[in-house]
């Protein structure tokens, strides 16, 4: 079960394209297809669940969605101790997408995209560039001075440390999902069909936890190099009380 997710299956070979001296092999694999399906599901559900919203007499659907949104906002606020607005879209999307990507593997014939190293590396790359996006947004180009602190000669080590963060994030999710699937597979083999429903619930809880941890680590890497007082100063006119319900 777990091994299948490491070695992908090619579905369509689109050949090569050349960019200068670099050749790129375009191949659609089962992981790519499953990732597209997960994205489509998230987009379609987002569209459906955000229709007919009301300020008065909200539907059960709206109350449920608002509860989830407020819970995510409070988690971001409690963890970062900064205004939620700058980070909410990225972190909430990361939580939702990774959760769907984890859970879609329970639906045959799909495999979990986050159980594939390439897919997780793509998510970690988004985290990597987000760190510097927010750094420059709130601190300007001077944000990059941190690479030369506390002394100039530590520049190479600081660069290695930055890439090390992303590698650790990549292998953390990949290893956790691969190991988690192997544990579930072993438990199913040991128990047979005696307790399939508890195993499914156990798997769902684990997948959601892994998605939560990935989003929290992304947020941690982003806010680690930011000064809270600088964020508060730049967003001093922003009122955020919608999630304090």
Per-residue pLDDT of 3-33, as tens digits, reads: 444 456 777 777 778 777 777 777 777 888 8
Q: pTM of this prediction?
A: 0.81
Rg (CA), the chain: 21
pLDDT value of position 5 = 44
Flag whether pLDDT at 78 surpasses 50. yes
Query: For 124, what's the count of Cα atoms within 13 Å in the CB-facing half-sphere?
Result: 20
Q: Is 152 helix (H, G, I), strand (E, B) or coil?
A: helix
pLDDT value of position 196 = 64
pLDDT value of position 96 = 92
Token duo for residue 183: 């544990």
145, 181, 212 from 106: Cα distances, Å? 46, 10, 18
Note the pLDDT tens digit of each residue in 35-44.
888 899 999 9
Tell me how far apart the alpha carbons of residues 207 and 195 are, in angstroms, rounded to a whole number: 19
- pLDDT over 90, % of the chain: 7
């Amino acid at each position: 079960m777990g091994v299948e997710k490491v070695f992908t299956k090619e579905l369509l070979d689109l050949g090569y394209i050349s960019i200068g001296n670099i050749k790129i092999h375009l191949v659609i694999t089962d992981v790519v297809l499953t990732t597209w399906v997960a994205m489509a599901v998230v987009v379609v559900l987002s569209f459906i669940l955000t229709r007919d919203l009301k300020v008065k007499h909200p539907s059960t659907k709206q109350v449920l969605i608002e509860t989830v949104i407020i819970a995510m906002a409070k988690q971001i606020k409690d963890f970062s101790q900064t205004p939620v607005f700058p980070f909410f879209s990225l972190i909430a999307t990361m939580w939702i997408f990774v959760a769907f990507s984890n859970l879609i593997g329970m639906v045959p014939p799909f495999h979990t995209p986050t159980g594939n190293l390439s897919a997780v590396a793509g998510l970690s790359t988004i985290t990597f560039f987000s760190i510097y996006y927010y750094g420059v947004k709130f601190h300007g180009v001077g944000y990059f001075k941190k690479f030369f602190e506390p002394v100039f000669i530590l520049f190479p080590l600081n660069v290695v440390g930055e890439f090390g963060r992303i590698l650790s994030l990549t292998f953390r999710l990949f290893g956790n999902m691969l190991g988690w699937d192997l544990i579930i597979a072993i438990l199913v083999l040991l128990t047979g069909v005696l307790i399939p429903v508890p195993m499914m619930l156990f798997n769902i809880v684990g997948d959601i936890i892994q998605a939560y941890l990935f989003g929290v680590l992304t947020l941690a890497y982003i806010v680690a190099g930011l000064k809270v007082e600088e964020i508060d100063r730049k967003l001093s006119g922003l009122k955020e009380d919608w999630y304090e319900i």
